[in-house]
Structure 1
Amino acid sequence: MSSRVVLKTKGKSTKGSKPSDDKSTSKLLKEWSTWTMKKAKVITHYGFIPMIIIIGMNSDPKPSISQLLSPI
């Protein structure tokens, strides 16, 4: 009548198998490329406008920040 708690783990199993046996090279490559693309998307999303402002501030006519941000 006692209840028993069973914990299921995600990821690689630890019972006598090698890490290279669990996943094939193509699966690892797919996971790595997916992870890389997600990180690149975040970096591009948050870095594009600051990059444009920095490039604009270093251009020849030297505009002020209000001139860079105004739509006119």
Structure 2
Amino acid sequence: MASRVSLKTKGKGGKGSKGSDEKSTTQCLKEWSTWAMKKAKVVTHYGFIPLVIIIGMNSEPKPQLYQLLSPV
């Protein structure tokens, strides 16, 4: 099942409100930034150790994988 993202703003849309376009743009930007930060957190969490291993494998002298993973 495909999920759809709703960008509707919550709140009162009474007379004299500033403009729904401005509210929807700021709300959309806020939702997008929150989504991006959550994804960046997951990528950083799961990508840090493999990045360290890859950098370690490309350094001089070239260690074996078991040497990188052993605590000694």
Which has more radius of gyration? 1
How many aligned positions are there? 57
Where does structure 1 differ by over 4 angstroms across 4 or more consecutive aligned residues?
Answer: none
- TM, length-normalised to structure 1: 0.67
RMSD: 2.3
Q: Percent sequence identity over matched residues?
A: 71
Q: CA deviation at 1:12?
A: 5.7
Gaps of 5+ in 2: 9-19
Mapped to 1, the partners of 2:52 and 2:62 lie a distance apart of: 14
- TM, length-normalised to structure 2: 0.67
Gaps of 5+ in 1: 1-9, 14-19
